[in-house]
Amino acid sequence: MAKILSGLQPASVFEYFEAISEIPRGSGDEERLSNYIKQFAEDLGLWVHQDQDFNLIIKKPASPGYENAPTVILQGHMDMVCEKREEVVHDFTKDPIRLVVDGDNIKADGTTLGADNGIAVAYIMAVLADKTLKHPAIEGLITTGEEVGMVGAEKLDGSLLSGKILINMDVENEGEIFTSCAGGVRAKIQVDIKREKAQEGMTACEIKLSGLKGGHSGMEIDKKRGNANKLLGRVLYDISKSMGVQLSCISGGAKMNAIPRDSRAIVLVEESKRHELGAAISSWEKVFQKELSGADPHLKLELHQLEGEFDIICPKDAERAISMLVMMPNGVMTMSQEMEGLVESSSNIGILTTAEAYVEFDSAVRSNIKSQKLSIVTQMQCMCKALGATLELEADYPEWEYSKDSYIRDVFIAVYEKKYEKKPLITAVHCGLECGIFKEVIGDIDIVAFGPDVHDVHTPDEHMSISSIKRTWDYLLDVLESIK
């Protein structure tokens, strides 16, 4: 069977990326890929350790002349966010990612690509396999569960690593060197509900909001894209107050760390007000299209009548749930005062679900400053107290603080300036990298993060630049060769 990426350079990087794209690797389903990479390392005769969470540590000796150079940890995560277009048939637990080459870009056929962070895994495998490279001793560190709270990194046995330099490759902007990142926490709010039978003469309808671009809730949170859950909350608040529409259920989004692209609600309305509801939905569609004309030009808000009987959430509980959705913090909260253009803190209502006895709001809260993260959580706690809801915090991970002195950062800058005759952008990122956790589980290590151009991660529009992958690979090899 012909390989889609055959002929692209660097050949080994694309060969490994295509190989791992054939193996399902959603968060929590990394065992098969972990076993594949473990076998890859064993076939090369390298030392490899696989822990119970399927994290991998692979060690390769220094090349001749680099025996006294400091050991370097090359790091990436193997899990990916599994998102697809609504009409696409794809089972992420069974089907390989269908790769497409489009000019200078590699993308997937209607699904997320998994370049976040599969390209780092491919880079690491290519370095480990190539016996011609000049480099210090290498420790390949490939983690699991990054996309759902960095659970693999948190359980890592840091004593198995001897490297004092770590190069994280979970970055999507070529030419940028990251030196700090946000910390975060997963916040789950539940509003308890009771159900009751709908009154006679009520018509059931589905309100569906779709066509939004979505995106990574850290990297794209400043793009002013619509959050489908939040937008639908505004609609529900209006129609419940103005025409007594009753709520049966509401749901939206697929991942707490992805900006939701669609959301839906089932409501019941008096038959005499059915046309009034339709007019209200049309009006709200125009409002949203005007508000988001630049960021989400394909937004649609539709109303469809449903057949059958539906119970409703009792009105007082529905009011509490809708009020929670309207008031919950979402989007950019604060901007950095020290680094121009950097989002400092944010929140994203990523998943909204309705169960038999509760409505749940699942959010990703991020901040580069710990106190700001705590401030957003405190706001949620006060809302829960006022509305009689509960808040549960999960996967709380630390920020990676900027270090004034960094040998590896200086190496990256010097190599970049020599190679391109210009300075790289030294910056921070408003998304959670595992670097803060590594500081805790490994110890005092010198860290930088970088990577090739990858766009629209966490969405079916995800794509990466072929030429950028080549340049970034060459840059990485030059950096490794310069570490003495």
- pLDDT attached to residue 2: 66
Q: Which two tokens stand for residue 375?
A: 């401030």
Question: Which one of the listed residues 18, 30, 79, 170 is annotated catalytic?
Answer: 79
| CB distance 5 to 14 below 8 Å | yes
- pLDDT attached to residue 327: 97
116, pLDDT greater than 80: yes
Q: What's the chain's average pLDDT?
A: 96
170 is catalytic: no
Q: What's the average model confidence in pLDDT over 6-13? A: 97
379, pLDDT greater than 80: yes
Share of the chain above pLDDT 90, in %: 90
What one-letter code names the amino acid at 414?
A
CATH fold, domain 11-182+399-482, is Aminopeptidase (3.40.630)
**CA 323 to each of CA 163, 187, 243, 319: distance values in angstroms, whole numbers, following the listed order:** 50, 17, 17, 6
Question: Which one of the listed residues 116, 139, 146, 399 is annotated catalytic?
Answer: 146
Residue 255 pLDDT class (50, 70, 90 cuts): confident
pLDDT tens digit sequence for 350-369? 999 999 999 999 999 999 89
- pLDDT attached to residue 62: 98
- pLDDT attached to residue 400: 92
Phi, psi of 243 (to 5 degrees): -140, 15
Q: What's the average model confidence in pLDDT over 462-481? A: 98
Q: What's the average model confidence in pLDDT over 169-189? A: 94
What one-letter code names the amino acid at 275?
H
pLDDT tens digit sequence for 383-432? 999 999 999 999 898 999 888 899 999 999 999 999 999 999 999 888 88
Q: Which two tokens stand for residue 11?
A: 């050949």
User: For 469, what's the count of Cα atoms within 13 Å in the CB-facing half-sphere?
Assistant: 29
Domain spans in the chain, listed from the N-terminal domain onward: 11-182+399-482, 185-397
Q: At what angle do helices 466-482 and 115-129 cross, to 10 degrees?
A: 50
Per-residue b or e along 267-290, where b marks 16 or more CB atoms closer than 10 Å to that residue's CB? bbbbeebbeebeebbeebbeebbe
CA-based Rg of the chain, rounded to a whole angstrom? 24
Q: What's the average model confidence in pLDDT over 147-166? A: 94
DSSP collapsed to 3 states, the chain: CCCCCCCCCCHHHHHHHHHHHCCCCECCCCHHHHHHHHHHHHHCCCEEEECCCCCEEEEECCCCCCCCCCCEEEEEECCECCCECCCCCCCCCCCCCCEEEECCEEEECCECCCHHHHHHHHHHHHHHHCCCCCCCCEEEEEECCHHHCCHHHHCCCHHHCCCCEEEECCCCCCCEEEEEECEEEEEEEEEECCEECCCCCEEEEEEEEECCCCEECCCCCCCCCCCHHHHHHHHHHHHHHHHCCEEEEEEECCCCCEECCCEEEEEEEEHHHHHHHHHHHHHHHHHHHHHCCCCCCCCEEEEEECCCCCCEECHHHHHHHHHHHHHCCCEEEEECCCCCCCEEEEEEEEEEEECCCEEEEEEEEEECCHHHHHHHHHHHHHHHHHHCCEEEEEEEECCECCCCCCHHHHHHHHHHHHHHCCCCEEEEECCCCCHHHHHHHCCCCEEEECCCCEECCCCCCCEEEHHHHHHHHHHHHHHHHHCC
Class of CATH domain 185-397: alpha beta
Q: Which two tokens stand for residue 336?
A: 């950095």
Contacts of residue 278, defined as CB under 8 A and 6 or more positions apart, other chains included, come to 303
79 is catalytic: yes
What span, in angstroms and rounded, lies between the C-alpha atoms of 295 and 89?
Answer: 27
466, pLDDT greater than 90: yes
86, pLDDT greater than 90: no
- Cβ burial, residue 309 (10 Å; 0-12/13-18/19+): exposed
Mean pLDDT lowest for which of 144-158, 277-291, 468-482? 144-158
Q: What's the average model confidence in pLDDT over 286-307? A: 97
Share of the chain above pLDDT 70, in %: 100
Q: Which two tokens stand for residue 432?
A: 């959670």
